[in-house]
A and B are shown apart, each in its own frame.
Chain A
Amino acid sequence: MAQIRVLRRVASLLTTPLAPEDILGLVNPLSSSRQLRGVVTKVVRETPDSTTIHFRPGRGWNPHAAGQWARVGVEIDGVRHWRSYSLSAAAGHDPAITVTAIGVVSTALARDTRVGDILFLDTPQGDFTLPEHPRPLLMLTAGSGLTPVMSMIRTLVPRRPDADVVLIHSARTPADALFHDELLELADQFPGLTVKHWFTRDSGTGAPARRLDLGDATDLETLCPDWRDRAAYACGPADFLDAATELWLRDGHDDTHENLTIERFATALLPGTGGEGGLVTFEKSDKEVEVDGDVPLLDAGEECGVVMPSGCRMGICRSCLIPLVAGKVRDLRTGEVHGDEGELIQTCVNAAAGPVNLDI
């Protein structure tokens, strides 16, 4: 170890003011452990709107647990953007993400990614993961919310003969349903998996084309009568998850909240919480920008070229914290205006409420 340290020191004397890995990076872009990267190895079109991107990560990656997500950075028009994506591959396999095109970054990823491209990465994180001890499971997913659950199913079902998993997945049509055929095959092959697809539009089967109603337990009772006895995992749009949370609180067993684990892809922002906005000054970066009251400080900083730390971009991971130097901010989830000097601000869910100075 000591020798390696000496070697490092000598190497950095050679390359100062650059780091040795800046030089190694000339030959192998995956060599940097400071900025983790991955090279795309396979691209698979899943549905008209979604694509699975397999990649081989470089130095510094940790193998993911089924259900975890990673931050992925891509360059669009020369600008680096970061978003979070669940890893859809089974644990123990090379990672992959499955991206559904809905906005700027997801569309670029889903449509323009090619084998050989380099993705910027951060290590896997998140605690939307399988229970430590075997239990009967209920997976409740909608749309792209299937991705983390798919990783769990791929990890668990083929390996554990005692697995008991019911998946209820809601999609618009069979053509829009992610991993449709693979799921049916898995269910065929392994008795431990039951798959119930729910189509909100045309299913071709004559079943009612309507949304899965979680307003009461009726639909659930039909699809999975013993739903209360299962450890449930849910992932999908905000209103879907809100309805599930309420249903479990109301109708589930007593230890409800422990029985339902949810993963959100987007924050529920209060509509109309934005106020007057103001001038945001990023002190160390020497940048300032006038922003509206509904623009998260994270977006405002990125917009003017500040390298802002970020993670989930939805107010859960706290990797976007920046000390407040002066001013007040508004929490876009609650509308509350707050801000003491030195307070750590979650920039992804807070906007300027008047002039704001941040210590970055």
Chain B
Amino acid sequence: MTVLQKKAHNPIGHLTPEDIEQLGVELDAIRQSVIDTRGADDAAYIRKVIDAQRKLELGSRAILLISMFPPAWVVGTAGLAVAKIIENMEIGHNVMHGQWDWMRDPKIHSTTWEWDNASPSEQWKHSHNELHHTYTNVIGKDNDLGYGIMRVDEDQRWVPFYTAQPLWNFVNACFFEYGIAAYDLELGKNLATKERRNNPEFRARAKVTLKKIRNQVTKDYVIHPLLSGPSFLNTIAANATANLVRNIWTHSVIMCGHFPEGVETFERKSIVGETRGEWYLRQMLGSANISGSKAMHFMTGNLSFQIEHHLFPDLPSNRYQEIAPQVQALFAKYGLTYTTGSLPRQVASAWKKVIRLSLPNDFGRKARAKVLPLLPVTPRSEAGSRAAA
């Protein structure tokens, strides 16, 4: 892809500023309809998921106490991997977005939730909620575009480092939770100079992350294995496998959100003075969905409804499916492309791009069409910062 502003055919060229504002109004109405009907059923849903997840994790870990028996190892590892995925995706990610804050339950709240992941919630919320969700797919602003180690857009400059990016991507997938932690700490930037390394604020954050990692590692690789007695080594292997499966799964799902073909990127200039309607439009074009079964949606934490999630990051995840047809109808009405595909197709598409862009753009592509202004100049608005909530 190429930033939308430089494309020969601008996919939103047919929309007038009035169209875009009207689109915003219609999306606001969808959002309001969910808020108006949020209630006891939704609360019961998230409580049930949390309860079931904890029981699954507890049960799996109990089975792993005798993990030297292969069937116990297989069942326990599978159960634990599923439990960890649910904890990270349908529960952790969504709770930390504030999707359940309206319940006013301090135990299921974005300000108190701590997840089963290397990165401390506080830091993840900053880089994810504030930066990624605000600057979605803006080249140079949204570090989620390649996480700073990959080039996933023609408009990111090629350097030789990117030649090995299929390998970086694979390694990142396997150790994704540590990748996220490093990313949230902005390690690349912060380790670069002595001054940055010694910055007390960075050091304090790094200390929190290291403590979190220490606790996580002690739990999975020391305490639970010790409890398993003679199954010590088997339990270590089981927990490592569960973490690996969780890492690869979450990495794949997240790649599908913004990397597949069809997803648009934006110029840094283009978001200056963005209105709420324009912000919505960017989210619509900057995300891709995954189609599939109910179970698949659940296991992705409903991030398979990435478009709906990016439009309404703080609506409860169990409601995305219900509003998806309305959102899709709006895409059709305004002549926009609703990017979606099966999980294998989207994963393959994202990988293809990672591999293709590991090499410099070919010269044919470089002869660009003239730059189109994305949108007429409009007054400054708060749409971007509001979305971070």
Contacts and interface: CB of A to CB of B under 8 A. Distances in A.
A286 B129 contact: yes
B355 interface: no
Interface in A13-35: 13-18, 22-23, 26, 35
Contacts of A26: 51, 54-55, 58
Given A16-B216, A285-B110, A288-B389, A305 B102 contact: yes
B123 to A, nearest CB: 14
Given A13-B223, A16-B219, A80 B114 contact: no
Interface stretch (A71-79, A170-178, A235-243): A71-79
A212 interface: no
B381 interface: no
A10 B224 CA distance: 11
B314 to A, nearest CB: 8
A302 interface: yes
Contacts of A78: 38-44, 102-103
A77 B40 contact: yes
B379 interface: no
B39 to A, nearest CB: 4
Contacts of B325: none
B388 interface: yes
A286 B388 contact: yes
Contact of A23 (B54, B111, B112): B54
B115 interface: yes
Contacts of B129: 286
B111 A284 contact: yes
A83 to B, nearest CB: 13
B353 interface: no
Interface residues of B, number: 39
A206 B2 CA distance: 89
Nearest to B385: A288
A35 B107 contact: yes
Contacts of A18: 54, 114
A307 B111 CA distance: 9
A14 B224 contact: yes
B14 interface: no
A226 B374 CA distance: 85
B55 A13 contact: no
Contacts of B40: 75, 77-78
A305 B215 contact: no
Contacts of A135: none
Interface string B208-220: 0000100110110
A25 to B, nearest CB: 9
A305 B386 contact: no
A287 interface: yes
Contacts of B51: 26
A194 B56 CA distance: 61
Given A78-B39, A78-B43, A302 B104 contact: yes
Contacts of B41: 78
A245 B108 CA distance: 44
B98 interface: yes
A109 to B, nearest CB: 16
B376 interface: no
B116 interface: yes
29 contacts: A10-B223, A13-B218, A13-B219, A14-B223, A14-B224, A15-B219, A16-B219, A17-B114, A18-B114, A22-B54, A22-B107, A26-B54, A75-B43, A75-B103, A78-B41, A78-B42, A78-B103, A285-B110, A285-B111, A286-B110, A286-B388, A287-B98, A287-B389, A302-B104, A304-B101, A305-B98, A305-B101, A305-B109, A307-B104
